[in-house]
A and B are shown apart, each in its own frame.
Chain A
Amino acid sequence: MLEHGVLIVGSGLAGMRAALEVSEDPDLDVALLTKVHPLRSHSGAAQGGIAASLNNSNDEDSWELHMYDTVKGADFLADQNAAEILAREAPENIFELEHWGCAFSRLENGLIAQRRFGGHTQPRAVYAADRTGHALLTVLFEQLFRRGVKVYSEWYALDLVLRDNVCQGVVVYDILTGQIDAIAAKAVLFATGGYGRAFQTTTNAAASTGDGIVMAYRAGIPLEDMEFVQFHPTGLQGSGILLSEAARGEGAHILNAEGRRFMEDYAPERMELAPRDIVARAEQTEIDEGRGVTDKKDSVFMDFSPIGEERIRYALPSVLHLARDFAGIDPLQAPVPIQPTAHYSMGGIPCDVDGMVRLKDQNDTPIVGFYAAGECSCVSVHGANRLGTNSLLEAVVFGRRAGRAIRTAVRDLAPTRIEEGDLQRAVAEVDRLLKGDGPERAGAIRQELREVMMIDCGVFRTRPQLENCLSTLKNLQERYQRIAIDDKGWQFNTDLVEAIELGHMLEYAEVIITGALAREESRGGHFRKDFPTRDDQRWHKHTLAYRTDDGPRLAYADVNMQPQYRDPFPLEERKY
């Protein structure tokens, strides 16, 4: 049995930022646990930027405008106290990262450069070319190295241990040796990332399998707003690999088979720079109505020619490489076929603005010693749709806040204990998977899951589609009980890890579908063709899904309309 004062699970931006904050107190024993090496975390794949109203490229921006854009982008489902903090604390977080050496791109006058981004009314995206996430991940890892924070690299968390709403620690699996153990900790922070891997076409890395979300769910914590999945409009055709929104920020056009900028029909003012959900739906409509491009007619064109070669090379080097290496197309010569791709998970583990996990029930019951930050959490700052450049910002702002809250709280927390019985479920599950000799294969089940989720629970949804999706899922869950894996060994058994991840995907997919089926309206990333408008009367509220043996039980919670430093933004129609 291992023990630490504070254990952080997940090593992307939110996890590392929190770990650094906790390590400010030299008396605290903090450790970071991650199933991939920290430098491999998916935060590194973020490309376009991180938002902050610095006013380096103009002088009209303010935190209030940033907050307004965020709330409107969220289709008014964001908690306004959280969106306010996100916008207000953005600049100081950027400067801190810059002081640590982050390689942000610069203006001629030496200040940090900023550019336009979808849904933001001001040029407030701070960036490092088009590899902003990579630059941030690198700088946080450098600081982690410098402070000598203990890292359990390639360790996989299997279960969260709670007793009477008090967190005790985590059951863990050392991928290198195959040993199952437990780490007791007074405070545990989950920063385990999103859940996009359940969809066939996705920008998400293999690691984004919603592990932390499912661990919390299984431990009795409800999941919030899981039906809100963001489909990014500019994934490469086929693979779904992301082409940064920075391309549109720099001026790329999107064209249908007729060569027309069809966004003029959907968002005449903001055109290509409308928020992602709107552009993704416009694309899908064009494709569904037969105006798609290429032989398959399953995509539309992104045309880079309005930007100019020199600027493309300077500001979008990764986009240039990605199109060449993964689609075989040179954007300097030809338009690139793109399609909507599952990108970001708005839903997750419910928590407050200091990262403390709360049930958001009548008493707003806290889970003592359990925190969440980043994509796995639902504060909620993104509501029904996240604006580009707000995810890196959320990870940093709320990772830091959670780290601070833990640093203070942990002094008063009692030591925790993990008992033999706490390991039972994980041990039995690993044993079952290793010994299983049924006819089913994990690869086939995963493939079917991802296909049905993309088709029936994707950009557009209807009741019959969602019902079909749910019954297919139930069948896949049953088949999962009869799988056999090939690798029966203990050391570096990725066959086993992938099978466990599949179990997580099958669990949370059910929550997404159930929430989507119940929510009879269209808001942000959730669009019901049979209920195509927003219904504030019935649905201006957060979904909370509790795990039961018969599937998720749904409850609802109010949206916070009480920012601290200004009046709330009233609900209005969302037009661009």
Chain B
Amino acid sequence: MPKQDFVIERYDPVTERSYEQQFTAEYEPGQTVLDCLNSIKWTQDGTLSFRWSCRHAICGSCAMKVNGRSMLACKTQVTDIVDRGDPIRVAPMGNQKVVKDLVVDISNFLDAFERAETWLQELPDQDPPSREYRTDKEEFDRWSHTATCIHCGACYSDCTVVAADPKFLGPAALAKAYRFVFDSRDSKKHERLEFLSEKHGIWDCTRCFMCIEACPKDVLPMDAIMELRTEAMREGITNNHGSRHSNAFRGGVRKRGRLDEATLPILSAGVRLGAIPELIGYTPGALRLLKSRKLIMAAKRHGANREGRRQVRRIFDEVEAEKARSAVDAEAFAAERSSALMAH
């Protein structure tokens, strides 16, 4: 049987000491990192602690960092990650407090679901039907992939925003919120979108793609977050930094044919008294821009030439016309569909 070296990041809660320890495990092709961890635990060192249960990527227990990225140990085959005889490095998930060895405290991750109230909230004072609610298959197919989340925390572990802001709801809770926003059985769509548009919500995502890469179930959290942004703006929830930024970005490009870095932060903060502290906060950055002569450029009446601006505007017009057309189509389709459902 082939042999493989492992370097495991360990933590002893009694001495509060972190250290690395090297092990060598034999494996058969097809065996996983979890198989190797268990063989180490059962034949070499029983003190090694980690969570696992189902062995087939459904219980979500065994997310950990393997060679620096978060993944399920049970779903990761050794042969897929061996690299020129280098040891495989195993460490606990990131963005969460380590309890012992590869075991982390997942309470912050789970709290986000509670904060986002990710459970169905029916219409109050209305009895459900005697049978099931009818759910349009198109609607179901739109959100069903987000319902496959196994709450393993791999996305949360690799999220670059959680690293900077532990209060950020995180990819998994936001993807789950997406599901309820688009679930026609839920009555709180607008309230949900308002909450999600607040600080630590959808607008704080930096679109780094880490969650999409980490997710073992193809939930595509970042895509869900982007769709939530669009839906929030469509619902008129625009009194927040993120949507102002988005509008200012779009407006600037439409008007001038290119991005206007000088006015973007001012418009994003909003033309209002409350924005003053935020604007003052930008001063150091603005001074640095001035020093590197970037703001001088921006302050000039800059922009694309007239022909370029016309081209950009034409693109905008076409995209908007297309969107309007498809909105009419979608509405007609929905009307047709619901009358068909009622008739059934």
Cα A135 to Cα B150 in complex, Å, equals 10
Cα A111 to Cα B140 in complex, Å, equals 11
Does B86 make an interface contact (CB < 8 A)? no
Does B336 make an interface contact (CB < 8 A)? no
Residues of A within 8 A of B99 (CB): 176, 491-492
Cα A317 to Cα B156 in complex, Å, equals 24
Contact B186 A101 (CB under 8 A): yes
Choice from A107, A325, A486, A489 contacting B57 with Cβ under 8 Å: A325
Cα A363 to Cα B134 in complex, Å, equals 49
A541 to chain B, nearest CB (A): 35
A328-B30, A486-B46 given as contacts; is B147 within 8 A of A103 (CB)? yes
Does A112 make an interface contact (CB < 8 A)? yes
Digitize B22-47: 1 where CB-to-A-CB distance is under 8 Å, 0 elsewhere. Answer: 00000001101000000001110111
Q: Which of B48-56, B159-167, B219-227, B232-240 contacts A (4 or more CB under 8 A)?
A: B48-56
Cα A487 to Cα B12 in complex, Å, equals 11
Q: Which of B115-123, B204-212, B306-314 contacts A (4 or more CB under 8 A)?
A: B115-123
Does B75 make an interface contact (CB < 8 A)? yes
Digitize B114-145: 1 where CB-to-A-CB distance is under 8 Å, 0 elsewhere. Answer: 10011110100000101111111100100010
Choice from A45, A95, A326 contacting B59 with Cβ under 8 Å: A45
Contact B58 A492 (CB under 8 A): no
Does B108 make an interface contact (CB < 8 A)? no
- Nearest-CB residue, chain B, relative to A488: B47
B180 to chain A, nearest CB (A): 8
Cα A491 to Cα B46 in complex, Å, equals 13
Residues of A within 8 A of B42 (CB): 441-443
- Nearest-CB residue, chain A, relative to B72: A325
Does A239 make an interface contact (CB < 8 A)? yes
List B44-102 residues whose CB lies under 8 Å from chain A. Answer: 45-47, 49-61, 75, 77, 99-101
Cα A436 to Cα B235 in complex, Å, equals 65
Choice from A106, A107, A145, A205 contacting B54 with Cβ under 8 Å: A205
Choice from B54, B113, B128, B183 contacting A42 with Cβ under 8 Å: B54
Contact A110 B55 (CB under 8 A): no
Residues of A within 8 A of B117 (CB): 146
- B60, B61, B119 pick with most chain A CB within 10 angstroms: B119
Residues of A within 8 A of B344 (CB): 109-110
Does B106 make an interface contact (CB < 8 A)? yes
B72 to chain A, nearest CB (A): 9
Does A414 make an interface contact (CB < 8 A)? no
Contact A44 B132 (CB under 8 A): no
Contact A145 B50 (CB under 8 A): no
Does A218 make an interface contact (CB < 8 A)? no
Digitize A83-110: 1 where CB-to-B-CB distance is under 8 Å, 0 elsewhere. Answer: 0000000000011001111011111111
Does A468 make an interface contact (CB < 8 A)? no
A100-B120, A146-B119, A207-B53 given as contacts; is B134 within 8 A of A42 (CB)? no
Does A500 make an interface contact (CB < 8 A)? no
Contact B30 A206 (CB under 8 A): no
Does A448 make an interface contact (CB < 8 A)? no
Does A238 make an interface contact (CB < 8 A)? yes
Does A426 make an interface contact (CB < 8 A)? no
Does B148 make an interface contact (CB < 8 A)? yes
Contact B53 A98 (CB under 8 A): no
Contact B30 A493 (CB under 8 A): no
Cα A160 to Cα B144 in complex, Å, equals 41
- Nearest-CB residue, chain A, relative to B114: A145
A206-B52, A492-B103 given as contacts; is B46 within 8 A of A485 (CB)? yes
Cα A109 to Cα B134 in complex, Å, equals 8
Contact B41 A495 (CB under 8 A): yes
Residues of A within 8 A of B137 (CB): 106-108, 110
- B56, B151, B341 pick with most chain A CB within 10 angstroms: B56
- Nearest-CB residue, chain A, relative to B137: A106
Residues of B within 8 A of A145 (CB): 113-114, 119
Does A257 make an interface contact (CB < 8 A)? no
Residues of A within 8 A of B183 (CB): 101
B119 to chain A, nearest CB (A): 4
Does A494 make an interface contact (CB < 8 A)? yes
A36-B53, A103-B147 given as contacts; is B30 within 8 A of A110 (CB)? no
- Nearest-CB residue, chain B, relative to A99: B128
Cα A139 to Cα B77 in complex, Å, equals 31
Contact B46 A495 (CB under 8 A): yes
Contact A101 B185 (CB under 8 A): yes
Residues of B within 8 A of A103 (CB): 140, 144, 147, 179
Contact B134 A111 (CB under 8 A): yes
Residues of A within 8 A of B75 (CB): 325
Does A129 make an interface contact (CB < 8 A)? yes
Residues of A within 8 A of B130 (CB): 95
B123 to chain A, nearest CB (A): 11
Cα A303 to Cα B248 in complex, Å, equals 56
B250 to chain A, nearest CB (A): 35
A107-B137, A328-B30, A495-B46 given as contacts; is B132 within 8 A of A98 (CB)? yes
Contact A491 B185 (CB under 8 A): no
Contact A206 B55 (CB under 8 A): yes
A40-B59, A205-B59 given as contacts; is B135 within 8 A of A106 (CB)? yes
Enumerate chain A interface residues (CB-CB to B < 8 A).
Answer: 36-37, 39-42, 44-45, 54, 94-95, 98-101, 103-112, 128-129, 131, 134-135, 138-139, 142-143, 145-146, 176, 205-207, 238-239, 241-242, 318, 321-322, 325-328, 441-443, 485-487, 489, 491-495
Q: Give me 27 A-to-B residue pairs in the complex whose CB atoms sit less than 8 angstroms apart, sorted by A's number.
A: A39-B59, A40-B53, A40-B59, A40-B60, A45-B54, A45-B58, A98-B132, A99-B133, A101-B183, A101-B185, A106-B140, A107-B137, A109-B341, A131-B58, A138-B147, A142-B119, A205-B53, A205-B54, A318-B58, A327-B30, A328-B30, A442-B46, A491-B100, A492-B103, A494-B50, A495-B47, A495-B49
Q: A101-B183, A106-B135, A138-B147 are in contact. List 20 more A-B contacts (CB 8 A).
A: A37-B106, A39-B59, A42-B54, A44-B54, A44-B58, A44-B150, A45-B58, A94-B132, A95-B130, A98-B133, A101-B186, A108-B137, A110-B136, A135-B147, A205-B59, A241-B56, A325-B56, A325-B57, A326-B30, A327-B30
5 pairs of A and B residues whose beta carbons are closest in the complex: A101-B120, A486-B46, A443-B42, A110-B134, A142-B119
